[in-house]
Structure 1
Amino acid sequence: MAQRFAWTPGRELAYTHEEFTAIRVAARRTFRTALLRIRENSDHLAAWRAGRIEAGGTAWLLGEALDVLARTGDVPVYDKPRTVRRRYRAALAGGSARCTWGRLYLSRKETAALAVLIIAELGLNVTTLSEMPVPETLPGTTEAGMPVYRLRLEKRRRAGHRGRFESRNVTDSGADSSGRIITDALEATAHARALLEQLDTDVDRLLIWRQTTPHDGHGYRRAVRVGPFGLGVDEMAGGDWARSVGLRGSPLRRMRKTVNVLHRREPGQNTQDTHDSIYVVGEPQAQQQAVPVIADGALEAVDAARRTVFTARLIPDTEAGDRQTVTAACAGWEHSPFSPAGQGCAASFLLCTACPNARVTPAHHPRLAHLLNALDHLRGVVEPGIWEADWADAHARLADLRGRLGEPVWQEALEAVTDTDRTIIEQLLQGDFDL
């Protein structure tokens, strides 16, 4: 604690689409090979236990060896040196991990590949995934052919007991759903979990793998071992798997960042502030993706301003050639921004306050002030959706005009409203002037 050090910003960047896809394909290839191997041997073991294999042959000896493997964690072997017993050598077809304990259990590298696939789907923290208990299946969902799994997640670095724990439901609705990888993980670890329950009933983990040697993977400081099994996954395992398929470095952390920042685009066991400031802001790909979003937002803001800001010109008196409208004077009726050129303006008189061709003199102030009051009263009697669609922009432009003129001028205008102004505004709001 006495040693002083300075925090440095991380330079860990998200994977590109091509890199993400390549890593996911490699992980799927590794895990899929293991899953098919375990599935084939599980079917053989089930057939042997059900008595469907004729006794005495090679297939029967393989079933017997698999039964021993499922009950003890290893096939029948001699202790010193560790070699497969002569009786089962032909049936097992070799003494390698794939031919012996690998028939029913995942290796450390295969579990790392499984972790990559889960992170690619769910964006989980490596430690959270490593310590995640076996997911619960919601009642009735498996029978319906669409199992829903409840994942129990813990974020150790989050303060407070309540904030550390959360649950997330994922559904296996098909091969492309996020829940399918959980279904496959449960199938691949079924035999390991069954034996682990006999060895230590207090241990509950989804990711379980068979140790190659008694010290397999012990370099990680949080390594957990029960009997012949290792629990969870770590960056070392991720790095070992990556190198075995020709990749550089463990992809676990960068996969999580890629998923949460570029794919899910929402926090994964982080607050929104942490997600934005730590993960999103410094990510070049997120910055590039934000460019069109920011541009669209700016254009939308400009459009909103044009719709809600008073655009007509304020002048002291009507100029020669101006035409009088219901709400203002018009200096360009033939060149309306709301109608095709040369056809004359066909827009509502409410849009005069949004037209650069419109001219507003002090003589128009009373009528416009009365129109704003009328819209205020109308707001309380129409549906909110209708108000926003038909009247809100006109109200905003008149409110902007009131701010420009000032309250004293506006009050004088209200006091100068005539019966003719009231009649014309009533006809305007009733649509009598619409074409």
Structure 2
Amino acid sequence: MSGRGRKAVLPPADHRVEPPLDRDGLIVTVINKAGYRKTFDFAELSVAEPMQRSLAAAFAAQARGWNSHLTAGSYWDKLVLFARFVAQLESPPEDLDGLTAAILKRWRARHVASNTGRHTLAVIRRLLRWDPRLAAGPAAEELAKRVPGVKPSRQSYKETERDQVVLAARRQFRAAWIRIRENTARLESWRAGDLAEGSREWRIGQVLDHLARNGDVPRTILPSGDVYATNRHLLGGASAEKSWGRLFLTRMELTALAVVLTDTFAWNLSVYDRMPAPTQAPSAGETTSVTYQVQVEKRRAGGGRWFSTENITDSGADSRGRLVTHALEATAHGRILAARLKPGTGLLMVARAHQPGREDRDLDRPRRVGPLTFGVSDDDAKRWGRLHGLGGSPFQRSRRTTVTREGRPLQHTHGTHESVYMLPDKQVQQASRGVFEAGAREALEQARSVLFGGQIVDEPNPDHQETAMVDCENEETSPWPSPEGGCGADFLLCLACRNAHVHPGHHPRLAHLHQQLHSLRSVLDDRTFQGGWNDHLLRLEDLRDKVGLAAWQAALAQVGDDDRAVVQLLLKGDLAP
């Protein structure tokens, strides 16, 4: 089955796949998914003929996996750059086997510093490695060097920037949707015979019927050859919005719809060229909402994973599905006309071209049907951005903004989500500072909680009170006060208290406790030990490091019966503070 669910048809028995490289070895033909051909003449490259033929062979070998003229054109542009570089060398090699490691180092140094350059390096390396003469040796080792990944240069919009973009797109599309809805209602009234014959509304309805069937209002050709709208006075003008735009979106209005869809669903710009009109999913007894099944095509996912289906519900004015409903309503006449002019056409994103007779230049995109165009081109996106003061296409930044706002992968893998969208984004980094700071503070507090919190002294102070573990400077200022007054902490927590003082007389008992806690660790499960004893062990180890390992080991030889008894009581929990 094909990706769209149609049964695959076998080619004729005598079918043969035409090789990309012609017999002369200088012309490569790339056929895109739609079946259109584009040729690349390697005789135009500014290198010697043997290298032209070698590059053509490598290009043809790589081209077997392509179905897009855009991909082929991107590779070709980078080959032109490489050929120009080789031609400018002091002694240009005749063929690829003349490429030395030194030449390739110069080529790498020229391009490795920028995103565009790194992409160029990766493409040329991929092509050159098709040549068996570059499979071994110093040049091959230079080609094998990793090319640094392209760093994302696009950033998500700030909230105010995003509001500006989305508000402009919503206003433009909503005005178009209201215009088309009102004229659709007028056309339906005319077709139902509800308008008084001969009235102004009736005559407009007649024009709308002609427009719906032909994609344009009636036109009059003057003797001079000039063409104008026959009913321009009746319609209120000859502009697109007053004439054919009454039932069809303009390309800029369709682009505005795509901007809002990207902000809502994070779809790629290329998705809109081939998105079928959504269908209604079956609903069990649901009358107040409608669920649409939207097919999303993502070619970079690889063969067999190009298509995915998203269920989007229109449950009211504030639901995401309401935008799909409005998109279907705004494009209805365009879709009906396209299906009549070319049966089988069922794309959602359709607009009426300002210049219907103009030829398509980008053969990777859907071809025009009569006066209708499909999808949103890069030029459309850039023009829309300039018209709204954005300086360029808003789609990459809008998609990035939606993905980072949602905080989860949308039509891409988790790895891509983290490495391409989240981590490099300045807005995410800014928003994460508070989280990182809180985490760092929490980590610092946790680290401090397992450190010895008191003071190490050389001799006891008679003003301090002796406890089971240490000497206490002032139990009234304990971090763990008792409701009855004084300190309410367990004696083991003395090691974490700022009032604790440890002198050499404490070392034997503390060293013995440290030894016993290690023994306890071997007989308890991890959860029990971590919950009850691990922090005390870590504080003792911190104290040991501060006292010194030699003094600590020496203290073990001085452990007495009293020390052992006290430690035993502490471990059993029988020694109250």
TM-score, length basis structure 1: 0.77
SS of residue in 2 equivalent to 1:180: helix
Is the 8 Å Cα contact of residues 238 and 249 (structure 1) preserved in structure 2? yes
- Relative distance call for 1:316 and 1:198 in structure 2 (3 A) is farther
- Relative distance call for 1:212 and 1:244 in structure 2 (3 A) is same
- Relative distance call for 1:91 and 1:327 in structure 2 (3 A) is farther
Is the 8 Å Cα contact of residues 357 and 371 (structure 2) preserved in structure 1? no
In the alignment, structure 1 residue 252 sits paired with structure 2 residue 252: no
How far did 1:33 drift? 0.8
Where does residue 164 of structure 2 map in the other structure?
A: 22
SS of residue in 1 equivalent to 2:299: coil
One-letter amino acid of the structure 2 residue matched with residue 302 of structure 1: L
User: Residues 241-297 of structure 1: CA distance to partner in whole angstroms, max 9, x if unpaired?
Assistant: 233344422222222233334x23444433344344444444443333333222122
Is the 8 Å Cα contact of residues 310 and 397 (structure 1) preserved in structure 2? no
Aligned residue runs from structure 1 range 124-273, under 5 A: 124-140=267-283, 143-158=286-301, 160-215=302-357, 218=360, 220=362, 222-224=364-366, 225-261=368-404, 263-273=405-415
Where does residue 286 of structure 1 map in the other structure?
A: 428
Is the 8 Å Cα contact of residues 105 and 188 (structure 1) preserved in structure 2? yes
Is the 8 Å Cα contact of residues 351 and 372 (structure 2) preserved in structure 1? yes
How far did 1:22 drift? 1.5
- Relative distance call for 1:216 and 1:188 in structure 2 (3 A) is farther
SS of residue in 1 equivalent to 2:320: coil
Q: Distance in 2 between matches of 1:376 and 1:182?
A: 63
User: In structure 2, which of residues 512, 533, 540 is the aligned counterpart of residue 395 of structure 1?
Assistant: 533
SS of residue in 2 equivalent to 1:157: helix
Greater relative CO, 1 or 2 (CA 8 Å, sep 6+) = 1
Q: Percent identity?
A: 33
In the alignment, structure 1 residue 362 sits paired with structure 2 residue 508: yes
User: Residues 192-232 of structure 1: CA distance to partner in whole angstroms, max 9, x if unpaired?
Assistant: 22222333344332211111112569455544222221111
- Relative distance call for 1:152 and 1:314 in structure 2 (3 A) is farther
Where does residue 442 of structure 2 map in the other structure?
A: 300
Q: Distance in 1 between matches of 2:385 and 2:358?
A: 17
How far did 1:402 drift? 7.4
Is the 8 Å Cα contact of residues 334 and 345 (structure 1) preserved in structure 2? yes
Where does residue 92 of structure 1 map in the other structure?
A: 235
User: In structure 1, which of residues 89, 111, 114 is the aligned counterpart of residue 257 of structure 2?
Assistant: 114
Q: Distance in 1 between matches of 2:461 and 2:303?
A: 74
Is the 8 Å Cα contact of residues 327 and 368 (structure 1) preserved in structure 2? no
How far did 1:74 drift? 2.5
TM-score, length basis structure 2: 0.60
Q: Distance in 1 between matches of 2:349 and 2:285?
A: 21
Q: Point out the more displaced range, 239-248 or 229-238.
A: 239-248
Is the 8 Å Cα contact of residues 478 and 499 (structure 2) preserved in structure 1? yes
Q: Distance in 1 between matches of 2:499 and 2:532?
A: 16
Q: Distance in 1 between matches of 2:343 and 2:257?
A: 24
One-letter amino acid of the structure 2 residue matched with residue 104 of structure 1: L
Unaligned ranges ≥5, structure 1 = none
Number of residue pairs matched by the alignment:
414
User: In structure 1, which of residues 73, 83, 104 is the aligned counterpart of residue 247 of structure 2?
Assistant: 104
Q: Distance in 1 between matches of 2:508 and 2:304?
A: 64
Where does residue 335 of structure 1 map in the other structure?
A: 477
Q: Distance in 2 between matches of 1:348 and 1:336?
A: 12
How far did 1:112 drift? 0.8
Aligned residue runs from structure 1 range 63-82, under 5 A: 63-78=205-220, 82=227
Q: Distance in 1 between matches of 2:312 and 2:516?
A: 58
One-letter amino acid of the structure 2 residue matched with residue 212 of structure 1: H
Decide which structure has the larger Cα Rg and report it.
2
How far did 1:24 drift? 1.6
User: Residues 79-123 of structure 1: CA distance to partner in whole angstroms, max 9, x if unpaired?
Assistant: 6754444xx555433333212221111010101111111112222
Where does residue 133 of structure 2 map in the other structure?
A: none
How far did 1:394 drift? 4.1
Q: Point out the more displaced range, 55-64 or 31-40.
A: 55-64
SS of residue in 2 equivalent to 1:152: strand
Is the 8 Å Cα contact of residues 75 and 101 (structure 1) preserved in structure 2? yes
SS of residue in 2 equivalent to 1:226: coil
- Relative distance call for 1:187 and 1:223 in structure 2 (3 A) is same
Q: Point out the more displaced range, 212-221 or 33-42.
A: 212-221
Is the 8 Å Cα contact of residues 157 and 397 (structure 2) preserved in structure 1? yes
Q: Point out the more displaced range, 419-428 or 175-184.
A: 419-428
Is the 8 Å Cα contact of residues 278 and 295 (structure 2) preserved in structure 1? yes
Q: Distance in 2 between matches of 1:326 and 1:144?
A: 75
Q: Distance in 1 between matches of 2:458 and 2:507?
A: 5
- Relative distance call for 1:103 and 1:401 in structure 2 (3 A) is same
